[in-house]
Chains A and B, each alone.
Chain A
Amino acid sequence: MEQFQNDVAARDRGGPAQPLLAIRDLVKHFGSRRGWSGPWVGAKAGQRRGAVRAVDGVSFDVAKGETLGIVGESGCGKSTLARLVIQIIAADAGEVLFDGEAVGTSAPDLAAYRREVQMVFQDSYASLNPRLTIEDTVAFGPRVHGLSRRAAIVRAHDLISRVGLDPARFAARYPHELSGGQRQRVNIARALALQPRLLILDEAVSALDKSIEAQVLNLLVDLKAEFGLTYIFISHDLNVVRFMSDRVMVMYLGKVAELGACDVILASPRHPYTMALLASMPSMDPDRRTSEAPLFGDPPNPIDPPSGCRFHTRCRFAAPVCAATAPALAEVGPVHRVACLMATPGSGHPQAGVPEAA
């Protein structure tokens, strides 16, 4: 509907060049006070039990109208990052700037921010209230934000049909009467109900069957164009991220490993972890199966992350310097940044400064 798009355009403050979202040195440690932190780490006598360093100094921008994909394994901090961005949890340090303005935590300001930024979660069932019908679910947000019940229901019906469900059939149903794919469509409709400009999709298609996944991905692409949205698309599935994203950010243990244009990163990654992630994707060719695992072992626990570069314990290019020095995100190409000492000239890594890092 045109009214929606005009609305979004009217709310644009900084113009197209201003990033919609700017994240500066965001930090979140869980359980930073002394406490029980699981027996598998830090249990040696006298050692201070550490915090889970879920997000540890992350900075990035999201331009207006783009889709930023975030990939990484469990424990890399991608979901915590999403929750920090939408302010479900408060950061320990760092800044979230939305269209040039710092997002505070004071109540009126936050309510306005929540109208602009919405989220879709992985578990389509757990994220819906089982006692609300579909139309009440979608109308709930607008009503809280001051729309009349009638107007909210009208908007809900419009959105329900926009995500591919027939309001006449579905509006009065409860979540348990829907399939997983249908429920996820409802979650998307609910997220759009406040006419947000930024949508955070945290593993939003990961729990769906493959044939449904493709439908929902297509829907997301359509809605983005229709409502002029910006997406942060979080997934562990590189194939899905490749399809959705303009730029990709690869995270490892609470830090950004690599950030750049989707095509560039997935075609010629510079960080050894990105290379390993790509090589870990099952091959689709029965005659060229993977013969060697690119990485050994599991990702380390973020409670006690390795010193220096956090990937050095699993990296096959690791040199002694990697255990001592934490690499900064270094520019290696247009909008392509890598946190690897091999990409940092003069870092002391044997392969640093070599133009083509193996």
Chain B
Amino acid sequence: MKLLIANGYVIDPAQGINAGKNLLIEDGRVIGLLERSDQAPEGAEVLDATGLIVSPGFIDLHAHLREPGAEYKETIASGAAAAVAGGWTTVCAMPNTDPVNDSPAVTRFIIEQAQRAQLANVFPIGAITKGCAGKELSEMGEMKSAGIVAVSDDGHPVPTAGIMRRAMEYARGFDLTVVDHCQDLSLSAGGVMHEGRWSLILGLKGMPAAAEDVHVIRDCVLAKLTGASVHIAHVSTRGALEAIRRARELGLTVSCEVAPHHWTLTDEALADYDTNTKISPPVRSRDHVAAILEGLRDGTIDAIATDHAPHHADEKALEFDQAPFGIIGLETAVGLAFDLVNQGIIDLERLISLCSTNPARIFSLQDRGTLAQKAHADVTILDPGCEWVFDVASSKSKSRNTPFHGRGMIGAAVATIVGGRVVYLNPNYTRLTDTKHHNAAGK
């Protein structure tokens, strides 16, 4: 089966392409880029992308899909549906499920569930330690054979430098990137928000930025010791970014991602004790947000990841201290990323690098993050001018925990193609036509 994405503007940073082109795909792979004036091949379905940006598929390095174990919050199918509705063709699933993904059996289960859903690519991330308990290494080699793309104990920072050192040394042998949720638990224990003026006002226990800083610095030092590829999850502090910059100057393989809420919200958003602003790491003060924006601008930050963390409404309807951390993010991330473009902080090409090119590189995802010949036919089609309002009631996620309900956005992913199949098409963009139409219209 052939699909021609016609009349769009192709931006593929991996190939340095930034031009009006037609994209032809067949049997799940990219055939190549054609000139707009070329005839559509016989029998090809045509997606008319006039006025739209055609990008390599967006890859989310960080999401919680909750299955197995907490299917009342999210399933792999519902999470994948939310992903493609938000423009993500690939989702990397964190292992803190129940049971934890610390064995090849769980890894295979996740992959099978994703194949049944037939929406987004779902790539499991294996646990660093058994049960994410921070004590014994999990079976990384076996999980790699089963299909994991990285290892992480996300949500449970690896507490001791000794275990982390072994994990890095071992993971390196399997070419697995080690992803760490950086938080020194002895500094952040009991905290429910960023420590600062607002935590003092609200009387809530704070998590100091230093808790993240010291942990990131530790991991950078260990990256030097072990030579491992280290990826810092959801960076939220100025100090963490400074440490990552220094690590890069030393030539270490240290990358990092940022989640949209960390540049969109400040700790002032917690003023009404809305549990949909309770996130870990927490949304921080203005100075840290300024540092995040600077990191996005100057290239320190490699990737945008959603940290999609669904929780049931009943769980979020508890006292602030009792409610779980996290918000859903798959359907709002691209809209919030367009804020950065609209404010002139990054350009469209950089946005695509952050959401596709770089994530593919960080987890070594072969033939993804690019529209080069023979690459997987994962495509995200963007409309930078699309004005829309996020309505959580229409979310494909099973959960509703978001602080962005009702937020106006300019810029959206309007079609998502995974393995050559159109798995999401914004209802307002019904331009799928057949070849005959296209060729007739072209004349």
Are chains A and B native binding partners rather than an unrelated pairing?
no
A residues in contact (CB < 8 Å) with B: none
